[in-house]
């Protein structure tokens, strides 16, 4: 934490120093800066762009770097306006903070968070449209096509993606060696999964072999709390349509098949029955890095989290694990993944002054610069979102990212509608998984209970139940 504060302080000082060196470029008298946005002087204006983000500071720090870079660009253009960034650290879920800022008229100009959060903030009226930005030259040319609609809410873009994760299966390489796998066989496994020739059943059988032979304590684990890995499992088992025409879609067959798979893993001794009661410190700090599970359904970011939680090195992770796309259910099918990009959005405060909004938009274009993207791709183990970044030497030289970035081609965006997320996926669906794995409910009862709960919660006319 001290290191983060030191970095932010240095960046902010750099911006302030730039303000003192530049001379005026004229313009209207700025607004009162007691809240945010602008400060005025005889030499020109200083614009403060505040970015609200959680304790993963890299994305917020990039805004500060981009503000510094914009100030340099303005100077080269003959303008002495100064743009400085300010990082406001908030909890992971800062709905209450946003409501308070909105009430007091003191919203930060930018926020960063996942696309689910952006949908909620857009619905609450906190955000301003990013249509001009997403349709502008920079994003149109650079952004990967399947990232474009990451923050599309009710037909309007309310933000732009910053970096993207991909969900995958991690396999312990040392365990494969102990099962007699050669280097060639291990190297070929990701391609087999990509081609649909390595199935969910194959993974179960391999994990069972590892457990039975004492190679690993557990065979297959997953996240301990609700999250999109469980949404992906549902999609893989036929529940790809979770939302249609403003209604929650409940696919009984997909629900049943997914819970059956998870129940089988417990019954086969592959998954701890109480896994959903564990904390992240156990999962990412022990089971994953210390070889206590043969594999897990997770995401590419687990590298960064293991390094943080277990104090292991990037080299250790690279040498001891293989990542593959989640194995298909039926051999020959095309695998799928799921991503929840981190995104930037402009609040109503950013649109309170035309020049301030212009600078906010330029900052959000600058953060796509590859050298800035390195802070959030390589450092936090997230995949590039631009074609330019995929070809950037620093990115390509990182073997882990270079060999796993292909997965983004198979990913799709999650359903971000709050009704689907809050009433179905993050509540009843996770409860059903927990009850089935812990043995307090059989699969059929869990499915029926889930459907009853969701249909009651969302109300008549807001759901579709299909077999």
Rounded CA separation 361/343 (Å) = 14
How confident is the model at residue 4, as a pLDDT?
38
Classified as helix, coil or strand, 292 is coil
CA distance 50 to 139: 22
Query: What 3-state class would DSSP assign to 162?
Result: strand
Which backbone phi and psi does 207 adopt, to 5 degrees? Answer: -65, -40
Query: Within the chain, which residue ranges are assigned CATH 3.40.190.10?
Result: 2-158+342-408, 167-338+415-466
Secondary structure of 199-222 as H, E, C letters: EHHHHHHHHHHHHHCCCCCEEEEC
CA dist 278 and 253 (Å) reads 29
- CATH architecture for the domain at 2-158+342-408: 3-Layer(aba) Sandwich (3.40)
Higher pLDDT, 368 or 424: 368
- Give the pLDDT confidence of 300-330 residue by residue, as tens digits: 999 999 999 999 999 999 999 999 999 999 9
Say if residue 160's pLDDT is above 60. yes
Nearest to 204 by CA among 192, 196, 212, 194: 212
How many Å apart are CA 375 and CA 372, to the nearest integer? 6
Cα distances (Å, whole numbers) of residue 249 to 339, 411, 418, 449, 458: 20, 21, 14, 15, 11
Q: What is the DSSP letter of 284?
A: I
| 420 closest CA partner among 463, 452, 465 | 463
Q: Name the DSSP letter for residue 287.
A: I
Percent of the chain scoring above 70 in pLDDT: 91
Least confident interval from 5-19, 27-41, 104-118, 329-343: 5-19
Bridge-partner residues for 46, per DSSP? 39, 82
pTM (predicted TM-score): 0.87
Token digits of residue 245: 């025409």
Q: Does domain 167-338+415-466 have CATH number 3.40.190.10?
A: yes
Check if the beta carbon of residue 229 is closer than 8 Å to that of residue 430. Answer: no
Say what the pLDDT of residue 419 is.
81
For the CA atoms of the chain, what is the radius of gyration?
24
| Predicted confidence (pLDDT) per residue in 234-287, tens digit | 999 999 899 999 899 999 999 999 999 999 999 999 999 999 999 999 999 999
The pLDDT of residue 72 is 98
């Amino acid at each position: 934490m001290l290191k983060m504060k030191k970095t932010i302080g240095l960046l902010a000082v750099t911006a302030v120093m730039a303000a003192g060196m530049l001379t005026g470029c004229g313009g209207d008298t700025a607004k009162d800066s007691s809240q945010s946005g602008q400060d005025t002087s005889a030499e020109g204006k200083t614009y403060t762009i505040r970015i609200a983000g959680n304790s993963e500071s890299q994305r917020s720090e990039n805004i500060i770097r981009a503000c510094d870079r914009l100030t340099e660009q303005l100077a080269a253009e003959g303008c002495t306006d100064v743009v400085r960034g300010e990082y406001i650290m908030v909890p992971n879920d800062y709905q209450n903070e946003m409501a308070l800022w909105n009430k007091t008229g003191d919203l930060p100009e930018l926020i960063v968070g996942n696309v689910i959060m952006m949908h909620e903030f857009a619905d609450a009226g906190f955000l301003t449209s990013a249509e001009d930005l997403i349709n502008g030259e920079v994003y149109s040319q650079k952004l990967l096509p399947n990232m474009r609609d990451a923050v599309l809410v009710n037909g309007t873009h309310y933000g732009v993606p910053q970096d993207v994760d991909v969900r995958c299966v991690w396999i312990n390489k040392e365990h494969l060696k102990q099962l007699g796998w050669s280097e060639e066989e291990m190297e070929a496994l990701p391609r087999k999964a990509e081609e649909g020739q390595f199935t969910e059943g194959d993974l179960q059988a391999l994990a069972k072999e590892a457990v039975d032979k004492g190679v690993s304590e557990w065979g297959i684990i997953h996240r301990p709390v609700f999250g999109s890995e469980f949404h992906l499992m549902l999609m893989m088992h036929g529940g790809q349509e979770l939302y249609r025409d403003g209604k929650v879609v409940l696919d009984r067959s997909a629900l049943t098949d997914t819970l059956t798979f998870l129940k089988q893993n417990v019954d086969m001794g592959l998954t701890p029955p109480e896994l959903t009661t564990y904390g992240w410190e156990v999962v990412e700090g022990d089971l994953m890095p210390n070889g206590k599970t043969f594999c897990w359904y997770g995401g590419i970011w687990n590298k960064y989290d293991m390094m943080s939680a277990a104090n292991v090195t990037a080299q250790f992770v690279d040498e001891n694990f293989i990542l593959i796309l989640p194995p298909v259910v039926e051999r020959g099918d095309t695998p799928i993944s799921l991503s929840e990009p981190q995104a930037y959005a402009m609040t109503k405060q950013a649109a309170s002054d035309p020049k301030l909004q212009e600078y906010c938009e330029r900052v959000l274009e600058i953060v796509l610069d590859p050298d800035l993207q390195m802070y959030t791709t390589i450092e936090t183990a997230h995949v590039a979102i631009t074609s330019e970044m995929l070809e950037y030497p620093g990115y390509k030289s990182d073997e882990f990212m270079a060999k796993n970035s292909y997965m983004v081609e198979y990913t799709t965006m999650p359903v971000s509608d709050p009704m689907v997320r809050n009433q179905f996926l993050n509540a009843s669906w996770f409860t059903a998984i927990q009850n089935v794995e812990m043995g307090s409910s059989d699969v059929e009862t869990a499915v029926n209970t889930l459907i009853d709960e969701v249909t009651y919660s969302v109300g008549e006319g807001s759901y579709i139940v299909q077999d």
